[in-house]
Structure 1
């Protein structure tokens, strides 16, 4: 191998395998002399790659952890595996898969050869993920287009479907992608509205990076996650709840989201919840029912009414299912 750049890349790829390489084996692999291998190792060190050498009759080299992340050289199978994994996580907004993961996916897909990109798409299309069933899944390509636009500071055009089903076309300056648990949001400056907006990514379609560059504006809060949180709170009316539970506070706290706080012990094995929530009435009722203990709602009245109506519907459903033959079960033999 006579080309020094090509030889250095091949050498770096070998060293990224988690093992120690004898100098003689590297020389044989690259068809050069051990002296050339030593010079190439010195070149890699000058470029910032922490290559460690061991002394001995044979001697060996291995790449160790340094102060910075070096560029990775992946073979075809590794590249496909990483791309499929990142697509699966990003496409369903799994908690913990944040903007950095989407940026990594965007970078990887940008340099994937056509044959590997086809393999990634084929593998993804052949699998069916188990999701929550709330329709919040998204095409990973939508995320990668937007992530690239955020990084490259390019204006975006896209179609957007609002909560009431209204369809609009938008042009915006994308600021950040924010993962909120099981859902992705785009924080952007909407040029048509001349104001900052948050967009649910699962409602975005046909995203297109226009190529027009822009200078990022200053976000009102300075933090995209804080801005998103405030935007969601403003959309959802506050709900002040007071509920008594016939169970210890520790038991109830383990079965409620962290936003359902504080829980105050009221003596014995009982506790009381007093909180202001931004969740929907239906969601609060469901969470209370899942606590698996007796409880009493003191306020708001709307929650009491909703739970009463829900109880009536469940009772009717039970009676309809049971049928005329249902009755007491005799457990005596």
Structure 2
């Protein structure tokens, strides 16, 4: 039982910040106090400016709502270090967040305890980052935050989506998880109108809007069990614009360690040979994957892929041998 009131209120605030909603009974059990004490402490938090809302339902409860200003957050040591390091390395694959991350980092470092500042400083001194200018699609940070909240709260959302074919349509889904892969962000969700699981690229998703309707979470079907595994398996089998299958003269395990191709796209034929599905929506991506194989292979591919590789090969020869004159 927590008898010291300031310590108890800090513990109560920490609990409210870790979950979307708590019942009064759950909070009383966690704090080892009565429901009446919980109600008094909730009132004290409100007086300090924390927007704690009472929720309706069978037993009633409490949640920390958004307010006109964000009150201080309570972070344990590991959380503070993790957030600081994450802010230092933000924000690959996200647009419009770099300056915001620096402002947040300055505020956080200002209040870090000395013992944690030393840990963060050691990490900073031992770590360096190479920043590449990304020419690919970048996910919008505000969209990512909205979708993450919807996944957490199991709240149905709507949005407009433009698939590769280019025909935009409205979607209504139950969001399940977000997955980052190869510089892209994906939303894994259950499409209520199609009655099936779907994967959406965030750079093709616009106008996301929460509906306010929360639903029980669904269980992923095979090949689950987690969003990353499910998305990886589906991407590996999804149709691509350009087909390219390489038969490689090397063991599958060797190629898995050598290339960035998805492991599920590498299939052993025997102990010394495997196939690699290098199919992709862009020709340069296929060429890059083939280059990482670093061994002999034969290729079964679309004519467009063959033409692109021949052109690239001729350019490489010209660069090495110099221009040829008749």
TM-score normalised to the size of structure 1?
Answer: 0.50
> Unpaired segments of 5 or more residues in structure 1?
14-43, 48-71, 94-115, 124-128, 266-271, 327-333
User: Paired residue for 1:274?
Assistant: 274
1:232–1:288 Cα change, 3 Å: closer
User: Paired residue for 2:316?
Assistant: 314
Query: Is 1:137 the counterpart of 2:138 in the alignment?
Result: yes
Query: Is 1:243 the counterpart of 2:248 in the alignment?
Result: yes
1:4: how far off?
A: 4.8
The 5 Å alignment of 1:1-333 reads 4-6=4-6, 73-74=74-75, 82=83, 85=86, 89=90, 92=93, 119-120=103-104, 130-131=131-132, 133-180=134-181, 182-221=183-222, 223=225, 224-236=227-239, 239-244=244-249, 255-257=258-260, 260=266, 262=268, 273-277=273-277, 279-280=279-280, 283-290=285-292, 295-297=296-298, 299=300, 307-315=309-317, 322=322
SS in 1 for 2:258: coil
Could you tell me whether the CA contact under 8 Å between 2:157 and 2:210 is conserved in 1? yes
In 2, the alpha carbon distance for the partners of 1:83 and 1:159 equals 34
- Could you say what the CA RMSD is over the residues aligned between the two structures, in angstroms? 4.9
Cα deviations by residue, 1:240-269 (Å, 9 ceiling, x for unpaired): 422347xx999877533455464978xxxx
Could you tell me whether the CA contact under 8 Å between 2:246 and 2:297 is conserved in 1? no
Q: How many residues align?
A: 230
1:156: how far off?
A: 0.8
Could you tell me whether the CA contact under 8 Å between 1:185 and 1:199 is conserved in 2? yes
User: Paired residue for 1:269?
Assistant: none
1:235: how far off?
A: 2.0
Could you tell me whether the CA contact under 8 Å between 2:160 and 2:206 is conserved in 1? yes
1:154: how far off?
A: 0.9
1:138: how far off?
A: 1.8
> Unpaired segments of 5 or more residues in structure 2?
14-29, 34-72, 95-99, 108-129
Find the structure with the greater CA-based Rg: 1
Q: After the TM superposition, which parts of structure 1 deviate over 6 Å for at least 4 consecutive aligned residues?
A: 10-13, 44-47, 78-81, 248-253
In 2, the alpha carbon distance for the partners of 1:147 and 1:315 equals 48
1:10–1:175 Cα change, 3 Å: closer
SS in 2 for 1:162: coil
